Structure 1
Amino acid sequence: MTSQSRGIQQLLQAEKRAKDKLEETKKRKNKRLRQAKEEATAEIDQYKLNREADFRHIQTSVMGSQGNLAVKIEEQTVEKVQIYNSSYHKYKEGILKELLDLAYNIKPELHTNYKYKVQ
């Protein structure tokens, strides 16, 4: 009987060691999965940051900054107003003279479509 109980004891010990090894392996696997997940999350975050930086760089190079656009538009508006004012003052007298000449120098004549009927 003692040999039987020794065999059972050895079997129970072997079973316990196998169970311990299995638990240890599961713990290592879970730890490695968590580590891989953290690494993947860090890599994804870094990729997002790089893509956002590239997007912002392209956006500023293509569109310029909003403040810069407002300044450019204001400068162009002021420049155009000055051009229109100088053009107005330059041609004002000549245009008024032409309009007054057209209004005062009326030459009465019959319209080409008018048909004179003799009665």
Structure 2
Amino acid sequence: MASQTTGIQQLLAAEKRAADKVAEARKRKGKRLKQAKEEAQAEIEAYRNKRESDYKRYEQSVLGSRGDREKSIDQETLQKIRSIEKNVQRNKQQALQSLLNMVYEIKPELHENLRL
């Protein structure tokens, strides 16, 4: 009977060691999964940053920067304003004279709806 008790105790001890090894293996597996997840997140973030910077470079090359477009629009607007101002100065006298001639040269006429 003593040998049976010793055998049972050895069996229980072996079972406990096996349970400990399984628990340790589970912990290692959990650590590996957590580490793999963190590495995957880091890779995803690096890839996202790279693609975002590539997109921004592409956008700059295709569309140009917003500041450049604003400057070119401002320059075009100023050129148009200057051109209009020059045209006004050049044609001012002629337009004023034409307007004054219309006012001064009144030709009285009967209205076409007036029946005689």
TM-score range, shorter-chain basis? 0.7 to 0.9
For the pair 1:8 / 2:11, whether they are aligned, the reply is no
Residues matched between the structures, number: 116
RMSD over aligned CA atoms reads 2.0
Structure 1 residue 56: Cα displacement: 2.5
Q: Aligned partner of 1:64: which letter?
A: G
- After TM superposition, the score normalised by the length of structure 1 is 0.81
- 1:57 partner SS: helix
Alignment of 1:16-35 (within 5 A): 16-35=16-35
- After TM superposition, the score normalised by the length of structure 2 is 0.82
Q: Aligned partner of 2:3: which letter?
A: S
For the pair 1:79 / 2:103, whether they are aligned, the reply is no
Alignment of 1:35-74 (within 5 A): 35-61=35-61, 63-74=63-74
Deviations 1:28-49 (A, max 9, x none): 1111111121022112212331
Q: CA separation in 2, counterparts of 1:57 and 1:114?
A: 75
Structure 1 residue 68: Cα displacement: 1.9
Structure 1 residue 55: Cα displacement: 4.1
Q: CA separation in 2, counterparts of 1:84 and 1:34?
A: 70
Q: CA separation in 1, counterparts of 2:101 and 2:81?
A: 29
Give the corresponding residue for 1:92. Answer: 92
Gap regions ≥5 residues in structure 1: none
